[in-house]
Structure 1
Amino acid sequence: MNAAIGYVLIALAVLNLVGLLLLFRRLGNATYPASQKEPAAPATAAPAQAPSEPAVSADALANMLRRLDHRLGDIEDQVKRSPSVAVSSDQGATTDRALALAQRLARQGSTPQNIAETCGISLTEAELLHRLHAPR
């Protein structure tokens, strides 16, 4: 009984795949402007092959590249404005990652000085984490 259901599901998947391939082929032919379509070939000629160039025009690609360039510039500006390195003197500057790393180092037996230097936290925080998480 289960094998029959499996075969039916496989057959449906294959039919869906064939349908999608036909749909994409039809949509691919419809995206070419009328001026780019090749003229009808004589009956004696071999069937025409699909063009190797994409269906997107050069102007559209240039516009996409321009927008991507602007977006990349915006992202670079955001990165410059908000540095990812936290300064330990700022109140609340320690991140969850730094604290998780400090806990892991304390469990592994690192010294408080080593924890503070590695994670960028204060020595007092490192000593507290060392006391809480160090192996006994």
Structure 2
Amino acid sequence: MISRIKQGLLFLFGRYKEEWNREVEKLLSKEEYKIFNEMSEYDRIHSYKLYKLVCADKLLGSKEIYKKLALLHDCGKYHASLYRRVKKVLIGEKSLENHSELSYEKLKNIDFELAKLAKVHHSSVDDIYIKKFQELDDK
């Protein structure tokens, strides 16, 4: 519950810092960076914070693909309002439930391996890397 309150406050008051782009640009290709910049401000903040958690993680920190996944896993979300995001958590929101599939579609012709990971980033899978990624994403 506390993490959901923090997410709401971040949505309302969070600001993406332009200096973060220097780090993001070094990791992502030009095509990937374009997709990242098309994401909503909240999703870019969330993704950058997740990227920092992945970098610091012992299991995922040495894997470039999981760093990229952190930045692009939610690229299939549109600029959803706080209302839609709260609705998704409380009762479900069809327009946000397929964001993993939409992320896959955006990424599949750029980096197929990254696209496959984006597609399953909320799925139940027996993969220790994805499970760890999900744990960090839920923080």
TM range (shorter): under 0.3
Q: Give the TM-score normalised by the residue count of structure 2.
A: 0.19
Higher share of residues assigned helix? 2
Q: Which gives a bigger RCO, structure 1 or 2 (Cα 8 Å, sep 6+)?
A: 2
